[in-house]
């Protein structure tokens, strides 16, 4: 007779108001004041990235525009983001969590899954006591408060964190199958992971308004949304067999970069400069991972904030490549095929259907070997001296964004 399988103990740990908490830990003079971390208004990304609990008490929320936040609380402290600091603290928290278990899976810069099933016995604590111990250790080490959702699978742990632990006093909540109907199902369906504004409208249209409504909907009724409908139904019912793993980001399916422009671009030549720069960033990442792409995608968002327009299109390439010239040629052609000539606010380039770059197609009319050598030389110079050590001349024009980007991480100042 086989031994009964041990029930998993999984946490989703979320850092409360992460960027704001880090800033308060490093600037204690603001400890008891309302504080927000906000992008750079001069470059049109003056959006609230994080608001401390005091600022939230004034009604300020993430994604508010700066002027909206100031209207709600004129005395709020506005801090420009320091992304390198946040990354450093995030890595510090990960290192702390690795003292509790070797199964630590970052979900985002401020969320982490951990599985303590096989290590909790070492601490002689209940799962809730261990969560409280993690809270205390992280707070003392970094000044950041952790909220913890506990369950036997990842999706239940995330539901526990997002819908209960973030709101209760202890910041800790254990979600079991038996507690799903009372703790999770009464919440509006849009509060559930995976449901955006469009899906909310679709679900509401067929009478699904709460997570419980979704959980109790016969699966065939959701067939119109295919796999996505089935996934949402499984989330609502807390069904998830995926494991916490340290290799979740190893097998990359796509590589892409986006860029919000400092002003609305209307001239094709200026837009092409930005597309070339984004293409070079994407292909450099491909080469660093020794991957080639067979599909290229281009996205464009129009200049109207309230009524976004634009497109997202993709096409298959003749052969897999990570050549900047080849990818840019496809990007440029795809953009002009679908652009309506209206002002552009944001551009994006991504590549997918990735394959190993050790084998590639040689053609009679295109010197792939020469392109590879040129890209390799460019990459080696940047590796040694920095991203802006060598740039195309177009990057030094008024439309170029590479020099400004080099001062930032994730679109925000380091």
Mean predicted confidence (pLDDT) in 158-187: 95
Q: What are 137's strand-pairing partners?
A: none
31: tokens are 């400890």
Residue of 207 and 305 predicted with greater confidence: 207
Residue 112 pLDDT exceeds 90? yes
Q: What average pLDDT score do residues 406-412 get? A: 61
Share of the chain above pLDDT 70, in %: 90
Which of residues 385 and 152 earns the better pLDDT score?
Answer: 152
Q: What is the pLDDT of residue 119?
A: 95
CA dihedral defined by 319, 289, 350, 362, rounded to 10 degrees? Answer: -10
CA-to-CA distance for 21 and 143, rounded, in angstroms? 7
The first and second tokens of residue 159, run together, are 């539901």
pLDDT at 165: 96
In CATH terms, are 18-84 and 192-236 the same topology?
Answer: no
Q: Residue 257's pLDDT is what?
A: 87
Mapped onto helix, strand or coil, the DSSP state of residue 256 is strand
Q: Per-domain residue ranges for the chain?
A: 18-84, 90-181, 192-236, 254-413
Q: Which residue did the predictor score with more confidence, 210 or 375?
A: 210
Mean pLDDT of 228-234: 89
Two tokens, residue 47: 């959006």
Contacts of 108 (CB under 8 A, 6+ apart): none
pLDDT value, residue 363: 62
Domain 254-413: top CATH class = alpha beta
CA distance 314 to 284: 20
Q: Where are the beta strands (DSSP E) in 183-268?
A: 254-265
Q: Does 304 appear as a known binding residue?
A: no
Question: Which of 111, 178, 243, 272 is an active site residue?
Answer: 111
**Interval 64-107: pLDDT, tens:** 888 899 999 999 999 988 888 998 999 999 999 999 999 999 99
Q: Which residue has the higher pLDDT, 180 or 397?
A: 180
Taking the CA atoms of 179, 180, 182 and 187 in sequence, report the sign of the dihedral they define: positive
Averaged over 359-382, what is the pLDDT? 74
- The pLDDT, as a whole number, for residue 1 is 42
Of 28, 25, 8, 7, give the one whose Cα is nearest residue 16: 25
Lowest-pLDDT range, 205-214, 303-312, 328-337? Answer: 303-312
Distance of alpha carbon 387 from alpha carbon 203, whole angstroms: 46
Structure tokens at 260: 């919000």
Question: pLDDT tens across 269-325, in order?
Answer: 999 999 999 999 999 999 998 899 999 999 998 877 566 678 889 999 988 999 999
Give the residue-averaged pLDDT of 359-376: 70
pLDDT at 407 > cutoff 80: no
Burial bucket for residue 298 (CB in 10 Å: 0-12, 13-18, 19+): buried
Is 40 annotated as ligand-binding? no
* 68 catalytic residue (yes or no): no
Query: Residue 404's pLDDT is what?
Result: 72
What pLDDT, on a 0 to 100 scale, did the predictor assign at position 349?
92
What confidence score (pLDDT) does residue 229 get?
86
- Residue 180's pLDDT band (cuts 50, 70, 90): very high
Lowest mean pLDDT among 99-108, 326-335, 395-404: 395-404
91-105, 202-216, 298-312, 336-350: segment of lowest average pLDDT: 298-312
Average pLDDT, the chain: 88
Task: Tell me the CATH architecture of domain 18-84.
Answer: 3-Layer(aba) Sandwich (3.40)
The angle subtended at Cα 331 by Cα 328 and Cα 332, nearest 5°, is 85
The top-level CATH class assigned to 90-181 is: alpha beta
Decide yes or no: CATH 1.10.3470 for domain 192-236.
no
């Amino acid at each position: 007779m086989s031994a009964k399988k041990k029930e998993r103990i999984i946490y989703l740990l979320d850092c409360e108001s992460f960027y704001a908490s880090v800033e308060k830990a490093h600037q204690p003079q603001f400890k008891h004041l309302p504080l927000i971390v906000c992008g750079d208004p001069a470059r049109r990304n003056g959006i609230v990235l994080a608001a401390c609990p005091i600022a939230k008490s004034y009604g300020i929320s993430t994604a508010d525009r700066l002027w909206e936040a100031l209207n709600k609380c004129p005395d709020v402290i506005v801090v420009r983001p320091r992304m390198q600091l946040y990354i450093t603290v995030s890595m510090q928290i990960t290192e702390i969590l690795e003292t509790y278990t070797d199964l630590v899976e970052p979900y985002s810069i401020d969320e982490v899954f951990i599985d303590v099933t096989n290590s909790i016995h070492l601490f002689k604590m209940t799962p809730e006591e261990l969560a409280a111990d993690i809270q205390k250790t992280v707070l003392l080490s970094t000044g950041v408060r952790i909220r913890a959702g506990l369950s036997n699978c990842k999706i239940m742990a995330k539901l526990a964190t997002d819908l209960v632990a973030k709101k209760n006093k202890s910041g800790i909540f254990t979600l079991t199958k038996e507690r799903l109907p009372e703790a999770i199902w009464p919440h509006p369906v849009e509060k559930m992971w995976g449901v955006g504004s469009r899906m909310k409208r679709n679900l509401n249209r067929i009478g699904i308004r709460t997570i419980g409504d979704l959980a109790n909907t016969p699966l065939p009724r959701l067939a119109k949304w295919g796999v996505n409908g089935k996934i949402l139904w499984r989330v609502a019912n807390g069904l998830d067999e995926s494991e916490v793993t340290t290799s979740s980001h190893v097998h990359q399916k796509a590589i892409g970069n986006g860029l919000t422009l400092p002003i609305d671009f209307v001239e094709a030549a200026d837009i092409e400069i930005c597309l070339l720069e984004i293409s070079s960033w994407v292909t450099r990442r491909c080469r660093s991972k020794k991957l080639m792409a067979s599909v290229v995608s281009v996205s464009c968002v129009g200049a109207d904030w309230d009524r976004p327009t634009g497109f997202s299109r993709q096409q298959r390439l003749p052969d897999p490549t990570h050549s900047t010239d080849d990818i840019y040629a496809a990007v440029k052609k795809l953009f002009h095929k679908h652009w309506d000539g209206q002002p552009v606010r944001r551009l994006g380039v991504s590549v997918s259907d990735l394959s190993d770059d050790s084998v590639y197609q040689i053609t009679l009319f295109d010197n792939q070997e020469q392109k590879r050598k040129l890209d390799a030389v460019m990459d080696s110079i940047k590796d040694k001296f920095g991203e802006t050590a060598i740039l195309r001349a177009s990057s030094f024009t008024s439309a170029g964004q590479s020099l400004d980007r080099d001062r930032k991480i994730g679109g925000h100042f380091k």
